[in-house]
Amino acid sequence: MFDPKAEAMSRDERAALQRHRLWGLVDRLLAAGGVQGERLREAGVKGGADVTLADLHKLPFTTKQDLWDNYPFGMLTVPRDQVAAVHGSSGTRGRPTLVAYTRADLDLWASMCARSLSCAGAGPGSIIHNAYGYGLFTGGIGIHQGAVALGATVVPMSGGMTERQVRLLTDLRPDVLACTPAYALRLGEAAAEAGADLSWLKAGIFGAEPWTEELRAAIERVLPIKAVDIYGLSEVIGPGVATECLEQNGLHVNEDHFVVEAVDPATGTPVADGEPGELVFTTPTKQALPLLRYRTGDIASLTRAACDCGRSLVRMSKVTGRADDMLVIRGVNVYPSEVERVLLGTGLVVPHYQLVVDRRKPATRLLVACEAAAGGDPAEELAKALQAELGLAADVHVLPSGTVPRVEVGKAVRVVPWETGEAPLPGLA
């Protein structure tokens, strides 16, 4: 562990720490005013001492819309000249979401990413091949800072230039690979095509997009690693909010700094441990842009059962999807990750696919574009599996090898709309 005292402390000790830090956060938000402070006052909160962990679910939410409405610096709780860096989302769902960091926030973030790398078995002297993108996106710089804080050697590759990536994976012999799961697949395939020996790799730390156990198995077939999941979002801090350990049995949430809840996406009420819900985070130790009960839109469940690694942190399941990513196809609600689970679970297709939502007519169709793992056309068998396991009627198209786009930079695009014009991929009808 990077920080055993924090990662393995007793639950009572951690609850006391969270309570103390939550009081401080509430006092800071009230003093700063702004949207979060005003909502607290409207809820009858006069100071931090009015708040308990048990009553946290009664306090108002914060949402991405609040960040948009107060863009770019309207929700700061420190003077603007104390902002050391700005990161944010790519804006794929609309305008970018910018998040400010003080120097202390950057130090905290580095520590959280160091914990994540330690979860994957890295330590001082490890070589971390970092193929996450650098820039406003938090993935690359977050892992980079974490590697430095851990005392490891970081190779700041960023994304793309796959041939060069394979060359440096071969020459520098890193023990940990960090990138998106989709790009890990691409690197594994490219290494095989080049005949490259990557046997010194031990673990991969993959995030920035939801991925299933079936995709984990596919990655571990093409790379000689244990593949672990990492979770984070720029609004909360970036990567390092939660990470799987080598037990691969849920992501340990760094709850001394991020208080997590799971709520019903429709009603906002708490759900029981083990039940899927929308993740909500409170960030009591962040300085520049602390958030109270931030609704992430990510769907996962929580468990407090003990982990064999010795960490006592609450664990979250893999994210199954986003509340706003759910597809409604002929009355059936389904997340893209559920389709992935069924497709890859059959063993009939390679782990590259794309879901095309055909909205050219009033009755929406789902077209599943994939490539066969061996000869033949398993389209009918795949369609039957989707119907049997998900109740989903889909048109499956098995396309020639190499037709489905591979990821070189950024996140995998798993779902594309078809509103008008030509099909997004050749061979669809």
Q: CA 237, CA 204: separation in Å to the nearest integer? A: 21
pLDDT band at 96 (very low <50, low <70, confident <90, very high): confident
Q: CA 36, CA 30: separation in Å to the nearest integer? A: 8
**93 has a pLDDT exceeding 70:** no
**pTM for the model:** 0.91
Alpha-carbon distances of 315 from 37, 100, 328, rounded to whole Å: 30, 27, 29
As given in the structure block, the two tokens for residue 278 are 């929308």
Look-up: residue for tokens 């009081």? 23
Give the amino acid at 43. Answer: A
User: At 26, which helix (H) or strand (E)?
Assistant: helix 11-32
**Domain 326-418, what fold?**
GMP Synthetase; Chain A, domain 3 (3.30.300)
Identify whether the C-beta of residue 120 lies closer than 8 Å to the C-beta of residue 325. no
Identify whether the C-beta of residue 302 lies closer than 8 Å to the C-beta of residue 319. no
pLDDT single digits (tens) 98-111: 999 999 999 999 99
CA proximity to 121, closest of 217, 11, 263, 227:
227
pLDDT single digits (tens) 67-81: 999 999 999 999 999
Q: CA 294, CA 272: separation in Å to the nearest integer? A: 19
Sign, CA torsion 37/41/43/48: positive
Sheet holding 321-322: strands in order across? 259-263, 277-282, 294-300, 321-322
Contacts of residue 275, defined as CB under 8 A and 6 or more positions apart, other chains included, come to 262, 301
pLDDT single digits (tens) 196-250: 999 999 999 999 999 999 999 999 999 999 999 999 999 999 999 999 999 999 9
pLDDT single digits (tens) 362-403: 889 999 999 999 888 999 999 999 999 999 999 999 999 999
Instruction: Write down the domain spans for the chain.
Output: 1-324, 326-418
* Assigned CATH for 1-324: 3.40.50.12780
| Backbone φ/ψ region at 94: left (φ over 0), alpha (ψ -120 to 50), beta | left
Look-up: residue for tokens 């009755």? 363
Helices (H), ranges, 195-283? 213-222
**429 has a pLDDT exceeding 80:** no
